[in-house]
Every structure is written in structure tokens, then in C-alpha cells.
Structure 1
């Protein structure tokens, strides 16, 4: 990792972000393979702690949604933090580790749609955060980066987004310049920001998807600097739907290897 990247991370972490936790999670579902030890699919289930009283966790600024959780819990729990735009972002946080992975959904889904991936990467030893992007999606992603850096001391970061979320992670990384890797599945935009990326890049798209998504994926790939990879699948499956398609095993392996490489780079 270059000295410039360390300096940019240090400057980024100067801003403190207040994190709180809510009672319960928003609903939404997706299916995906469970961790690498099994090929079975699993249906994402929302958090069932709605209605429980929260308690403050000393020294963290986080408000946990249930009195039994602590600041070091690895179990999925809901958190809130502010974005640079002043909006409140809600996320599900899980795991523990030196490398953080942020998942951003496509426009018709929410953070719960990433639950299978969140649990799998948390089990692999990463600090994982899935967010609801809201209307200010790029700002929400930047807020997630700042939250993990300031509230949890995470300096290695991977952003993963699909469709509108793919656009958001590309644009946020180009503006933030403090993340190690970006994976965009069927990105809906971000071509103009690709040249400013200072991160490892993975772009995934189906060759039969709408022309605008195929074109955007190609433009982002061509506009970005190395290291980068463009993965194209047969068919017309879009965004997070790829995790339920015939390509799900290949996609899971590709994403696993991408995150492992990014988190292993020093």
C-alpha cells in the first residue's frame, strides 16, 4: 500500500461519526449459497428483535438494539450513523476483523437482501456492514466508510454494490480515495468517476442485460486503472439476481477471491 493511501486514510479518519443502533431491522429477502462448506441456498431472514429496548454501549457511541449485546459482538445488529450529506443511514453490522466490507443494494432491494453475503463474510473474519442507501446513495456509502474508520478503526475497506448500489460504490470510492477495492455488479452509472478510482476494481455484468448496463460496466472497466477485472456472464440476469442464477457459484468464488486479495494487501 502506498504512503499516499496511508496519508489519505489518516485524513479521512479525522472526522468522527456518531453511531447508534435501532430496534429491529427493515425487512427484505434474498437467497444465496451459505458459507463455502455447503452448497445449500438460504433465505434471508430479518432481525426479530423489534421492540426490545436499547442500551448505550460505553465508549463506543453506539446504541445497541438489545441489552445483551456489547461493542464487540459479532452477531448481526442494527446501527445508525450520519452521512456527509447530513442524512441518517441505517445498516446491519456483523463480524469482527481488520478488514471491512460494505454492501450496497440495488434500488428495489434493501440491506436485508445482502444478509447471506453479510453472514458469510463475517464468518470468514471480516467486519461487514450492509446499508440502506436511501436517496443520497453516494453520500450514504461515504458515511459507511467514515463510520467503519472512525467508530471501529477499520482501515482496509472493500465496497460491493449492485446496479444503483454499484454506481454508488464507484462514485464514493472515487471521491473518498480511501478504500482498497470496489466491486460493482451491473453498475447503473459511475463511468465518469472511473478515472479517479484509486482502488482494485471488479466489474460484473451479464452480456444479455440491458445495453446501458453492459455499456456502463465496460466504460467503468476501460476508464479505471489497474488492477482491474471485468467478468461477463451469459444470460440477462441483473445485479443481485446473479446470486440466484446459474452463475451463483462462480460469482461467489470470484467475490471471495476478490475480497481475500484486497484484504490481504498491506
Structure 2
């Protein structure tokens, strides 16, 4: 099945008109990506089909975006005009968010994530380009650690509708996610741990606005970034519910 997905993607990149399937129904926790990923009738971004890693469910497209040193790999699935971009931790890959890509594609969103590659910010933009090329006209950002900084720090400039950030440093490289440096006014949820050994909770707290739609949730323990989403993690369901609520608010559904 996986080789068939790669072949289908290659055909889509060559110009075959293949539409995304309808979202699955049933228990969202059991939902997987649609059997046929959303394809590009023509490629407004530079794409080349790639062999997907085993962590990706059947039906999730995977391609190299860009060329040479600026190239990164992007995974995406689903259909529709509501996009969700998942940013991994520094040096992370598409496997970090693969379960959420499948879950939210099954829930009716167009979803993408990417391998960090040489530049996390370039990968972020590449994933956003793919989402917009495949039909998203509104996009929410979710990120872990440095990916959370990108999600929050770029939200205003890139017109995000909502942001969820797990253990974000207030600044990463030239991206400043501190509230005083941004004009983003949409739903903004930040998670942090009291004893995070990598990013102090006080640093992550600098990202939030402290109003009713901008909230920091500090929990006990040492969980950092994507560790909040560990299958056996104590906070995974809370974070997942927060993501769903932020998406609903950002897209004007609740």
C-alpha cells in the first residue's frame, strides 16, 4: 500500500487531477488519514515524491519541497479549506506529529507537518506552502519546543487563526515569540512544565497575552515539547482537547 501511495503522489505531481477524499466518520481517536491524499493538479511549489517513513499512515502524502540546501520534506493529508500546520521540535521529523496528522485529517482538516532539515523556519514555510497549494485558505499553527516558537512568533505575519505551543522558548534564532513583539490576537494556548530541564516555564510564559483566549497551562513534572503527546503521557488527552478547542475557536466553529 505504501508504494502505491508514493506512486499516486508522483502522478499528482505530474499533473493528474486527483482530489482529496471526504473525511472519515466515527471515533476521532481511531481515525486515520483519508485513503487517498490531497494531490496537486499542478505544482505551484517545487515538489518531488519521496519514500515515506514507516511512522506515516497509509494515505499521508510525503514529498521533498524545494531544492539543494533549502530542501525539506513535508507530509500532508486530508482535504478542505481549514489547514493545520504541526511544527516539530528542533531536528525533529514528521514522525513526531504523525498521529495528530492522521487524527485531524480524519476529522475533516487539511493537515501538514515537516522534517526540520537544515532550517526549521524554511520547513515551516514549505509546509504552509503545501497546505495553501492543496486548498487551505485559513491555517492554524501547532508546535513543540522551537517549533512552538515558530508557531507563535510567525502567527501574526503568516495570518494564523489559532496557535498551540508546547514548551516554546520565548525566542528562537531571529524569531521572537514574546507577546510584546507580536500583534497576534487569535486563540493562543501554551503548555509548560514546572521542572522542564530545557525551557523554563517562566520563559514559555512570556509568549502568552494573559487574556481569555491566550492562556498558559503549567503542569507539574519535566515533560518538554512533544513529550506532552507521548501515547502513555498523563497530559496527552488534555493537550489534544486543547488543540481541538483552539481549532474550533480559530475557525469560528465554537
* TM-score after normalising by structure 2: 0.70
Aligned counterparts, 1:81-92, within 5 A: 81-82=65-66, 87-92=70-75
Aligned equivalent of 1:15: none
**Contact 2:189/2:216 (8 A) holds in 1:** yes
Are residue 215 (structure 1) and residue 202 (structure 2) matched? yes
Q: Provide the C-alpha distance between the structure 1 equivalents of 2:83 and 2:252, rounded to a whole number of angstroms.
A: 12
- 1:261 aligns with 249
Give the conservation status (yes or no) of the 8 Å contact 2:189–2:242: no
* Inter-CA distance 79–242: structure 2 relative to 1 (3 Å threshold): same
Task: Name the CA shift for 1:135/1:64 in 2 (closer, same or farther; >3 Å).
Answer: closer
Look up the match of 1:180. 161
Return 5+ residue gaps in structure 2 as ranges: 1-8, 11-24, 33-38, 52-57
Alignment match, 1:189? 170
- Superposed CA deviations along residues 8-36 of structure 1, whole A, max 9, x for unmatched, are xxxxxxxxxxxxx68xxxxxxxxxxxx98
- Alpha-carbon distance, 1:37 to partner: 3.0
Match of 1:100 among 80, 83, 93: 83
Distance 1:211-1:81 versus aligned 2 partners, 3 A rule: closer
The alignment partner of 1:175 has SS state of: coil
C-alpha deviations, 1:54-81, integer Å up to 9, x for none? xx96434555569xxxxxxx92011233
Residues 211 and 133 of structure 1, relative CA distance in 2, 3 Å threshold: closer
Q: Is the 8 A contact 1:80 1:88 kept in 2?
A: yes
- Number of corresponding residues: 212
Aligned to 2:98: 115
Q: Which residue of 1 aligns with 2:21?
A: none
2:62 aligned partner: 78
Shift of residue 87, structure 1, vs aligned partner: 1.6
Tell me, in whole angstroms, the C-alpha distance in 1 between the residues paired with 2:75 and 2:176: 30
Q: Is the 8 A contact 1:197 1:225 kept in 2?
A: no
Matches of 2:190 and 2:26, distance apart in 1: 22
Change (3 A) 1:226 1:246: closer
Q: 1:57 to 1:257 in 2, by over 3 A?
A: closer
- Check the 8 A contact 1:138/1:171 in 2, yes or no: no
Shift of 1:229: 1.6
Matches of 2:183 and 2:124, distance apart in 1:
15
Alignment RMSD: 3.6
Q: How far apart are the structure 2 equivalents of 1:108 and 1:147?
A: 20
1:24-103 mapped onto 2 (5 Å cutoff): 37=27, 58-60=41-43, 75-82=59-66, 87-103=70-86
In 2, Cα distance between equivalents of 1:218 and 1:202: 10
